[in-house]
Amino acid sequence: MPSLTCGASPDAAVFWAEDTVPLKPRKVGNVEPRGDHINATWHTQAIPMIFSGPGIARGTQSESPARLEDIGPTILAAMGIEPAGLDGIVLADALAAPTAAQSEAQKRESVSLAAYRDALRAQSMRDSAELKGAAK
């Protein structure tokens, strides 16, 4: 599940409450727009990621958090290319034959990302409860 956190993420970001649109929404046909991808709640940050193909582990599901910047190094590693000079880490859980160094790097990064993920989930639960209470 990629997230906003990365080595090159912005120093400052503005977020709105879940389902909030900062500008007047424009109706497209019969579809009313909703506020998505403009806040830091778990529902807009958690995006499933699927890898498939040669060099990728089959039937594996990882609970380890990931970032968008981890996709490139992971694909290169699956192709047998050393991902040098890139931001991000190799998502060793996705590989059929990860190296010990790749697995260790993912474990180390997962600790800080899991703390971020858990805080984001908890804040989302508080925000959702607050919005539901305000709607009553």
pTM: 0.65
Q: For 10-59, give the DSSP string.
A: -S------TT--SS----BTTBPP---SSS-SHHHH-------STTBPTT
31 strand-pairing partners = 28
Q: Residue 89 carries which side chain, given as an amino acid letter? A: I
CA–CA separation, 102 vs 2, rounded Å? 18
- The per-residue pLDDT of the chain, averaged, comes to 78
- Is 132's pLDDT higher than 60? yes
- 122 or 15, higher pLDDT: 122
Give residue 18's pLDDT band: very low, low, confident or very high (50, 70, 90).
low
- 40 or 129, higher pLDDT: 129
Give residue 135's pLDDT band: very low, low, confident or very high (50, 70, 90).
low
* pLDDT tens digit sequence for 45-64: 667 889 999 999 999 998 88
CA–CA separation, 136 vs 66, rounded Å? 37
CB 106 within 8 A of CB 90: yes
Give residue 35's pLDDT band: very low, low, confident or very high (50, 70, 90).
very low
